[in-house]
Structures are given as C-alpha cells and as structure tokens.
Amino acid sequence: MKKYIILLLMFIAQVVTAETWNLDKYIQVSPPDGADVTFQIFEAYDPKEKILMGWNGDDLEYMFVVDRQPGGKKDSIYWNGLERELKNSSDNKRLKTLSKGKYKTNSGLAVNYKIYSWATEGESYIQMANLIKNKNIAYWVLVSPTENDRYKDVEKKAIQILKTSRLSK
C-alpha cells in the first residue's frame, strides 16, 4: 500500500508540473519544471486575455504577448513589417537590434528572434521578438522585461520556455 501511495504522489507531481498552456488558439507551451511563471489575466494589459508572466519571487520580471499572423510568408516579410511598426512608434524613428539568434523547439520548429531597443514618449523599451511559424500559421511571441537591464536573463528564460512551444495548425 505504501508503494502505491508513493507512486500515486509521484504521478500527481509530474502531472502538475507538466502543464500545457494555450497562449492563443494554435500555439501551446509547457513551461519547464522550476520556471517561475503564471498564465493569468493582467488587468493593466487586457482585462480578458490571459498572458504568460515570469516572476522573480514576488516581482514581475517579464511578460509574453502573442500576435497571430497568416502563414506562408518568408521570414524577411514578417521581420520588415515588425521593424517598420516599431520604428513608426519610436520618437526618433530609430530601432536598435541588441542581439539576435535562432533556436529549435522540442517539436522541431526553427525559431528566429531579435531583441530590440527603442524610445517612445521619452521612455526606453526593450523587447524580444520571437518568430515561430510553419507553412500554415505564424506567431510573434513578444517578450517584454519589466527592467531593461535584465533583458539578457529574460532572453535565456524566454528561450527555455519557448523551446517547449508547438503549433497545432
């Protein structure tokens, strides 16, 4: 009986930590064990839409926002559109690329990302843009650190989470 209870507890613990969240209709993530994240409504962003939020204890460290795009386009078309939009929102029409890279998800998707810096209304912003796509659909997963000087730590954590992403369309 004791062995049965231990096995049951181990199974329950594994199920709880292997949670899958639908960030949008066709994109899911399963945050790795130990990731300090929640998937909840954040009233200041949107009173109806759940977003993934990363924490450092009680302090909000970053947020994920997703934007669905039509599939079937070359990467350069997606990137040019995003960069044009960010430049247009910038005070001085300038956009700086702080870093860029590629990684593969556990489901085999190739992901490209860039980390941008720009200023709007006197405030400076840093955001990590991840382009996740297949032939049918594409997503921007935009990761915003709450403190600009922490973007390198947030980059590592975001990649760790997004490596678990998969598209269902």
The domains of the chain are located at: 20-167
137, 26 contact by CB (below 8 A): yes
Distances, alpha carbon 64 to alpha carbons 2, 72, 110, 141, 166, in Å? 42, 24, 19, 6, 15
Write out the chain's pLDDT in tens, 169 residues.
444 433 333 333 333 346 999 999 999 999 999 999 999 999 988 999 999 999 999 999 999 999 999 999 999 999 999 999 999 988 888 899 999 999 999 999 999 999 999 998 889 999 999 999 999 999 999 999 999 999 999 999 999 999 999 999 8
* DSSP-assigned beta bridge partners for residue 6: none
Is residue 7 a contact partner of residue 17, using CB atoms and an 8 Å limit? no
Q: Which CATH superfamily, name and number, covers 20-167? A: Mog1/PsbP, alpha/beta/alpha sandwich (3.40.1000.10)
pLDDT at residue 1 in the model: 45
